[in-house]
Amino acid sequence: MPLSPLQLDILQELINIGVGRAAGMLNQMVNTHIQLQVPVLRVLTPPQLEELYASRMDTVFSAVQLSFTGEFAGISALIFPPESASKLVSVILGRDEIPGQDNQLRSSTLQEVGNIVLNGVMGSIANILKEPLRYSPPDFVEDDIATIVGSVTGMILVARTQFSMRDHLIEGEVLILFSLSSFDSLLAAIDNLAGE
């Protein structure tokens, strides 16, 4: 693991804060408490990442991907199992669904939820580290986990947080993949924060 204990601790806390901010935004959208699990950070190879999802490799998930670049780069994703995705859309749209445009509005709604949540996570981290990020427009996909995480090569730093909305039986997770090619910049920013 190329991070010191202090660096890991700080990065963990940054992700905690980012996910907390995102949970607040999600709470506003669905008007229900968001239960968060503690984020888990690991450095993995792509096969090891796939191993995390081995028991669900054939499952089709609904996901929003937001790529980010700047001093550090990677992909963030908000991932829902299909039943949770449908329930979330129903909660957000309530009675405002437009008949005849359900599929388009459904995917658009999920895409925007992902956009907001992932911006909440990454923007919080960027604000604290004072390292601006640039984003590509969010992508909505319905596919297996291997496709969602994309064709990453080399080692990746994976931050994974699961969350649930008990009132609506909705669960999902936030996944952040940091490209290790930009790792030095990420660590430098963390070291600056630590005052080292």
Partner 1 sequence: MPTLLIADDSMFQRFQAAKTAAEAGFEVLEAKNGEECLTQARAHHPDVVLLDLNMPDPAGLTVMDILAKELPGIRIMVLTADIQETTRQRCLALGAVGFLNKPVDQQALGEALRALL
**Token couple for 23:** 């949970």
Out of 78, 88, 133, 159, the residue judged to bind partner 1 by CB under 8 A: 133
Nearer CB in complex with partner 1: 136/153: 136
Query: Nearest CA to 29 among 94, 119, 105?
Result: 94
Contact between 17 and partner 1 by CB under 8 A: the answer reads: no
Does position 132 bind partner 1 by CB under 8 A?
A: yes
The two structure tokens encoding residue 94: 């309530």
161: contact with partner 1 by CB under 8 A: no
Question: Can you name the residues that pair with 74 across neighbouring β-strands?
Answer: 68, 178
Told to check if 182 binds partner 1 by CB under 8 A, we report no
Residues numbered 57 to 116 that lie near partner 1 (CB under 8 A) are 96, 98, 101, 104-105, 108-109, 111-112, 115-116
Residue with smaller CB distance to partner 1, 58 or 96? 96
Using CB under 8 A, which residues numbered 23 to 62 contact partner 1? 25, 28-29
Query: Least distance to partner 1 from the beta carbon of 102, Å?
Result: 12
Amino acid at position 169, single letter = L
Binding site for partner 1 (CB under 8 A): 21, 25, 28-29, 96, 98, 101, 104-105, 108-109, 111-112, 115-116, 118-120, 123-124, 126-127, 132-133, 135-138
